[in-house]
Structure 1
């Protein structure tokens, strides 16, 4: 229990201290008008208060991610606490802050366009495809589960439930951001927080004790911690999906100083939620073997339901149903919205003005782009959920890694302390390079050979990074000589 409480304290201290360090290095300017005002369109660029933006951001990036992922990561034992805390403070929250603040600095641009600015057009083309693919996979994976549960507890069939959910998606994607998302998301965000806090209090006062830190790998299947834990627990530590969501809120912030509270703060809140559910998974079933048995019997949704109803009674059952149905749907709708925004931005050169997306012909373009995204999403929602989820993990962390490198290049080109993004970017490069060769959805190679290949690729990336640093220093030196 001491480890759990200390981990929560560290996350809070991380926000109080390190978020200010990151903000100072980035360099905010509240005198500069944000895109919410300079590009106000009544659709996506709409000023909103920071507290409402924070709750919406939390729900956008969280959903069931820090619940399901943390429960699966709990199979490794208390070492998962270390990854959540360190990953959240030094990687995930930094990642979210830069994805949001760079969008603000560049007129609300979407993640792929930001990548193109700092990593080049080739990388932008790659990330355009992979990020839209990630959005479609996330929306599909986070829709199939709720539709299945609705069909089990109501007279509706799976397909009818799926159609109803997609009907809501159409409204959420096409209406102005302050009409549905801005009004109901803060309520659902509060439910997510209340659910986690209630579970935490119940755990602390229960007869069982939350296990303290051990560096041993307690996974019943003896799966390696590196790099699997870093992909299993993404939401709550670092998740590339967040970089696709931050521009939604970046288009609504009233001033740049709100960014620390909204982007960095929401990620820390998600880290706390992940810690609570990881602790619940380790504790409630008497260890990782008991958790594995529960997951085999009912999956993550069954585990959430059992923990909630047992610790919180009837209220817990209601919260579990709300969580397993509503939270993934709210992730799916913003995935659809952000992919629609990415697609329009990608094709904006075909229009006279990107702003056309707010009126006249632009409204027709918004509808066409939404339909284009929703057709494959609906089809994928009808296939096996576990198959979809296997491909979400690695794709998600590739997107996160590229965003960290984007932040590092922004800082480097502006002669700022780039290591706050560069070091976690190197770490995550090692994760994704090793994972793709070892994982069954990748090349399914042996662990040692995967580790060797991943390390070699990471060293090549480090070499590229050093080359960029040297090149920047040489350019600065040449500029100074020229000026002299």
Structure 2
């Protein structure tokens, strides 16, 4: 219990200390106009209140990642706690804050645009394809999984296909309508539901003195799976996730003032870390008896474990609300995944999105492909998701490092986690059966060489771009006093 409470406390302290330090390094400009005003179109670019933006950011980046991932990560035991705390404060928070703030400085640009500007034009095309594939996978899976959960909740009274059709209709509307019409209206309430249910489970763990294991570096995984690199791909949301880099630019286009960035981007990463910590602790404590967590995952799945934890900790009524909160999580990540895909494609082919028909003709092919995918067995493709997700995080961290290096600031806050994730994803794809399937000792040697090469390549490119004085931000003048007062 001491480890659990201490870990949550460290996450909160991290927001007020290291989060403040990261903000100081970035140097937000209080009087600089944000894209919500300079590119206002009433669709994707429009100012929204800080608290609303924060809750939308939380519910967008959360999905089922900070719940299902930590439950699976709980198989490793207390090392999962360490990764959530260290990863969230020094990697995930930095990743989300830099991605969101650099996007704000560059007219709300998405990751491919930022990659092209700071890592080279070739990277723009690579990251664009990477991002679209990642978002399509997320969106499609988050049609099927909530439909199955709703089917179970209705005891089979409503066919799954009905739920799939309804979810697709909702996704289409959320993708093409102005952000304040659906997402900006319902997300804050869903975010509040998520926080309420998760905090309730956290207090129940403390109140019931649940047998949460204390700090240990012992790997308890029943299959003997190695902590490195597998743990760092298993627990992504809640520690560090590249999916967040595709979501933060949505809110960078609705943020009223740069000074709100730490609360919105870094703060919501910390909140997600606390959510992950609570679910990991619950999984470790409640199912370490005659029936182990591993056996339960194999028999009732992670969704069944969520239901067990919710009803055991909160009772049948509040537990049902918690389960409903979990059901809406994939839906609220699926819709923003499709919305991000539409925005990225529109930016890539330079099509303004103010007219609804411009949004429809870009969104339509995305949904057609997704519908096709729902009728296919793309299990093999999905097996690459964790690797693709963390590879995206790696790229986003290198972008942040380049931005800080060119600006003559403390780039190490991004370089260190970028190097670590480069080593992690490289080791995984070389060692894993879905990759090169090479022995771990050889994989570590090769990935170390690759990581060193990429790091040297980065510093060489960074020095060149600094000498060329690559612009860090779009050319926007400061607000008038009246505009600045409104932005606050």
Q: Which TM-score bucket, shorter chain as reference? A: over 0.9
Per the normalisation by structure 1, the TM-score is 0.93
- The offset of 1:88, in angstroms, is 0.5
Alignment of 1:213 onto 2:215: yes
CA contact (8 A) 1:34 1:256 kept: yes
Q: Deviations over 1:260-319 (max 9, x none)?
A: 110000000000000000101111101697111110011110110111111111134412
Q: Distance in 1 between matches of 2:398 and 2:289?
A: 38
Aligned match of 1:461 in 454, 465, 472?
454
| SS of structure 2 residue aligned to 1:47 | coil
Q: Distance in 1 between matches of 2:300 and 2:381?
A: 18
Aligned match of 1:424 in 417, 427, 431?
417
Partner residue in 2 for 1:267: 269
Comparing 377-386 and 148-157, the one that deviates more: 377-386
CA contact (8 A) 1:53 1:253 kept: yes
- The offset of 1:70, in angstroms, is 0.6
CA contact (8 A) 2:198 2:322 kept: no
Alignment of 1:446 onto 2:439: yes
Q: Distance in 2 between matches of 1:471 and 1:405?
A: 15
Partner residue in 1 for 2:2: 2
CA contact (8 A) 2:62 2:237 kept: yes
- The offset of 1:467, in angstroms, is 2.6
For residues 24-423 of structure 1, the aligned pairs below 5 Å read 24-154=24-154, 155-286=157-288, 290-348=292-350, 354=351, 356-359=352-355, 363-383=356-376, 387=380, 389-423=382-416
| SS of structure 2 residue aligned to 1:258 | helix
Q: Distance in 1 between matches of 2:230 and 2:128?
A: 25
- The offset of 1:113, in angstroms, is 0.2
CA contact (8 A) 2:402 2:462 kept: no
Distance change (3 Å), C-alpha of 1:372 and 1:475: closer
Q: Distance in 1 between matches of 2:67 and 2:91?
A: 19
> C-alpha root-mean-square deviation of aligned residues, in Å?
1.8
- The offset of 1:391, in angstroms, is 2.2
Partner residue in 1 for 2:479: none
CA contact (8 A) 2:406 2:462 kept: no
- The offset of 1:382, in angstroms, is 3.9
Count how many residue pairs are aligned between Structure 1 and Structure 2. Answer: 467
- The offset of 1:378, in angstroms, is 2.2
CA contact (8 A) 1:244 1:338 kept: yes
Per the normalisation by structure 2, the TM-score is 0.92
| SS of structure 2 residue aligned to 1:257 | helix
Q: Deviations over 1:193-252 (max 9, x none)?
A: 111111111111225321101101110010000010000000000000001100100000
Query: Which consecutive residues of structure 1, in runs of 5 or more, have no partner in the other structure?
Result: 349-353, 477-484
Q: Distance in 2 between matches of 1:393 and 1:143?
A: 18
